[in-house]
């Protein structure tokens, strides 16, 4: 059975949207890194409440990061629907890396540990690579096998 080019187009567009959101996320993260100073007297070092009351750029960084998780889930679903191996591998890897970055961003707000910031940055680079390679290789004819119809 022929695979629908509509599904392939859909997940490829989702990969491009994800890459665009990753670029926006990078810019917001760099602005936050350069411009935002957390107060030293935060209760327990937790900056969550402070960020939502005092920093629009961190709020936007959080919202775009959460949107990235949602779009990454959609990319997995669409690549599975297209039954495209390279697209599915890239989408799953990208989702895992985006979730890793998101979780480390949440940890960074909780404790401002440099290791959380580094992990967030490395996961970002990995996600960019996954979606870029997934987009490039999604033109190949590597499909998941169809299940045999039961009679």
Q: Under a CB-based contact definition with an 8 Å cutoff, are residues 129 and 113 in contact?
A: no
Out of 3-7, 14-18, 23-27, 72-76, least confident range: 3-7
**Is 44 domain-assigned?**
no
**Is 47 domain-assigned?**
no
Please list the residues that pair with 47 across neighbouring strands.
none
DSSP state of 143: B
**Is 41 domain-assigned?**
no
Looking at the structure of the chain, the number of domains it has is: 1
**Is 22 domain-assigned?**
yes
Give 25-72 pLDDT, tens digit per residue. 999 999 999 999 988 888 877 888 899 999 999 999 999 999 999 999
Give 115-146 pLDDT, tens digit per residue. 999 999 999 999 999 999 999 988 755 554 55
- Residue-level pLDDT at 140: 55
**Is 45 domain-assigned?**
no
Q: Under a CB-based contact definition with an 8 Å cutoff, are residues 46 and 109 in contact?
A: yes
Structural domain including 110 reads 5-36+53-137
């Amino acid at each position: 059975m022929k695979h629908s080019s509509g599904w392939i187009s859909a997940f490829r567009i989702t990969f491009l949207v994800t890459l665009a959101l990753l670029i926006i996320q990078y810019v917001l993260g760099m602005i936050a890194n350069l411009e935002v100073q957390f107060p030293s007297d935060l209760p327990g070092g937790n900056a969550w409440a402070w960020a939502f009351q005092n920093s629009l750029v961190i709020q936007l960084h959080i919202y775009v990061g959460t949107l990235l998780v949602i779009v990454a889930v959609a990319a997995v679903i669409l690549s599975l629907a297209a039954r495209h191996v390279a697209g599915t591998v890239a989408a799953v890897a990208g989702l895992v890396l985006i979730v890793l970055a998101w979780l480390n961003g949440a940890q960074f707000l909780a404790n401002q540990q440099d290791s959380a910031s580094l992990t967030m940055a490395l996961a970002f680079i990995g996600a960019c690579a996954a979606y870029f390679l997934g987009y490039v290789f999604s033109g190949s004819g590597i499909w998941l096998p169809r299940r045999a119809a039961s009679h």
